[in-house]
Amino acid sequence: MDTTQLLKGVLDLAVLAVLERDDGYGYDVVRRLRDAGLDEVGDASVYGTLRRLFHGGHLTSYVVPSDEGPHRKYYGLNTEGRALLERSTKTWVGFSKTLDRLLGLDDSEDAA
Amino acid sequence: MNTTARNTTDLESYLAAVRANLADLPESERDDLLEDLEQHLAEVAAESGEPLSARLGPPDAYAAELRSSAGLAATESVRARATSPQRHLRDWATAVRADPRVENAVAFVRELQPGWWVLRGYLAALIWAMTFEPWWSEALPFPRFLGRRSLGLLLAIGLIVLSVHVGRRARASRAYRRLGMALTVLVVLWSLPALLGALTTPHIVPPSQFAEDIDPFLHAFPDGSGGLLGTDGAEITNLYPYDADGEPLSDVRLYDQDGNPVDIVVERTHDGRAVVTSFPLDEDGVPVTNAFPQRQAVRDQPGWEEPFPEPTVHPEGPGPTGRARIEDRRFGERPDLTVPPLDDTAPKPEPTDAGATPGPGAAPSPRPRPE
């Protein structure tokens, strides 16, 4: 089963979750998602998701000067972002429970 | 570094390819989406020497992924289904822009752009003059800078070069485009009202017949009046100095006991007509208002722009009291007056017995006497 298809539906949630822990700039978010095990996450998808969430008013953004290279644009959750994360988490938990039941799995197992 | 240079060109070409793949998006949307993609890709590129396309896939796939994840439609036709009012407006604007007549008009305006850049620089120089230079409107069309037209011309050339530079850069860079638009709005809002005011108030008259070594200009004062009062309480509108030989003097600069210039500025005749005075300018281009006799004329008198009266000496000498007979002369005209030379052998004349010389006897009563 192609995880990239699965990822599309939950990338928002994953990005919000990563930013909940710490603010981050685009590539930093990509790395943290990959480090967390989402190896297939697309660079462009993360970038586009960040832009979309930011435009939807769920993220704050600020620029941090960097010693080498260009300034980095950091993103972080605002109140709306946190609310969205909370809602999405509930949706995800309900969804995954339903699927677990459907598959006859009582304990949650790592699908990846 | 060799690798850095290679990375940079790799990055640029990759970015350009992504941008090209998003060419169908409205400009603002695309610029917004790509705002910090370069920085983002630079991070990716900095991690290894591999070309970007090897790590991120081909640019067109990257662009497609970007598009879908950012919630932008894949193609033009899909985008049309969107129904938000802004979308409608944007579609409408796109349709209008695509109209050949509009396209022609836009192309025409684009071609005129360089001319406007030049104008913008010139107006910016004028703004300096309006704000900091006295009597700036007298120097039009030159902007005055530090009192001089020549310096103003240099300033204008400098600002025009700057303006053209900004304009040329604006074609490629969004930041410059914003800067250019801001400058344009600022320059227009700031300069045009004052400029129109200066041009529609006809108080500037071309210099006519004055000596070439003084830079004359003419100025009419719209209202009010300021001058000296004679002992009889009547306003002194001009002073005509004569030297010891009875020869009329010109451009005599007068100062009072405190060293203040006696700068009569006559704005109205006694019967309320506007007076125009031509003042010589000093080195800084500022009018000298205490140089006498002043060259005055009544504004609505026929031919007032042309012949400022030349001094004429009346052949028959002064009137019985030494006073000018002014009934028939035009305003601003030297009174018919013959001033006899002083007696060299006599002691210095007291002001009171100088009945023949109009100056000291008519000292201003409201001002303190030097003695």
Residue A57 at interface with chain B, using a CB cutoff of 8 Å: no
Counting other chains too, the contacts that B23-29 makes at CB distance below 8 Å and 24 or more residues apart are: B24/B75, B24/B76, B25/B72, B26/B90, B26/B94, B29/B72
A69 min Cα distance to partner chain B (Å)? 8
Instruction: Determine how β-strand B217-220 pairs with β-strand B204-205.
Output: antiparallel
As given in the structure block, the two tokens for residue B133 are 């230079």
ipTM surpasses cut 0.85: no
pLDDT over 80 at B52, yes or no: yes
Residues of A in contact with B70 (CB under 8 A): 47-49, 51-52
Q: Which of A51, A69, A72 has its CB closest to that of B70?
A: A51
Helix (H, G, I), strand (E, B) or coil at A24: strand
Determine, for residues A25 and B66 on separate chains, whether the beta-carbon distance falls below 8 Å: no
> What pLDDT score does B105 carry?
85
Determine, for residues B69 and A72 on separate chains, whether the beta-carbon distance falls below 8 Å: no
Distance from C-alpha of A73 to C-alpha of B208, rounded to nearest angstrom? 66
Residue A54 at interface with chain B, using a CB cutoff of 8 Å: no
Residue A43 at interface with chain B, using a CB cutoff of 8 Å: yes
The answer to whether the beta carbons of residues A74 and A62 sit under 8 Å apart is yes
pLDDT in tens, B106-153: 888 888 888 888 988 898 888 888 877 766 766 677 787 887 778 888
Residue A50: closest C-alpha in chain B: B70
Distance from C-alpha of B296 to C-alpha of B279, rounded to nearest angstrom? 9
Q: At B360, is the pLDDT very low, low, confident or very high (cuts 50, 70, 90)? A: very low
A16 min Cα distance to partner chain B (Å)? 14
Determine, for residues B43 and A26 on separate chains, whether the beta-carbon distance falls below 8 Å: yes
More confident residue, B124 or A69: B124
The answer to whether the beta carbons of residues B49 and B3 sit under 8 Å apart is yes
B278, β-bridge pairs: B218, B295
Residue B70: closest C-alpha in chain A: A48
The tokens 């080195």 sit on which residue?
Answer: B283
pLDDT in tens, B197-229: 776 654 433 333 333 333 333 333 333 334 566
pLDDT over 70 at B54, yes or no: yes
Determine, for residues B65 and A42 on separate chains, whether the beta-carbon distance falls below 8 Å: yes
Query: Residue ranges of the alpha helices (H) in chain A?
Result: 3-21, 26-35, 43-55, 79-103
Residue A65 at interface with chain B, using a CB cutoff of 8 Å: no
Look at residues B190, B78, B76 and name the one whose alpha carbon lies nearest to residue B123. B190
Distance from C-alpha of B12 to C-alpha of A77, rounded to nearest angstrom? 31
Q: Which of B40, B41, B68 to mutate to test the interface with A (most CBs of A within 10 A)?
A: B40
Determine, for residues B43 and A44 on separate chains, whether the beta-carbon distance falls below 8 Å: no
DSSP character string of B77-111: HHHTT---HHHHHHHHHHHHHHSHHHHHHHHHHHH
Look at residues B85, B81, B154 and name the one whose alpha carbon lies nearest to residue B121. B154
Distance from C-alpha of B196 to C-alpha of B102, rounded to nearest angstrom? 31
Q: How far is CA B368 from the centre of its chain?
A: 41
Look at residues B313, B267, B277 and name the one whose alpha carbon lies nearest to residue B297. B277
Q: Which of A27, A48, A72 has its CB closest to that of B44?
A: A27
The answer to whether the beta carbons of residues B318 and B341 sit under 8 Å apart is no
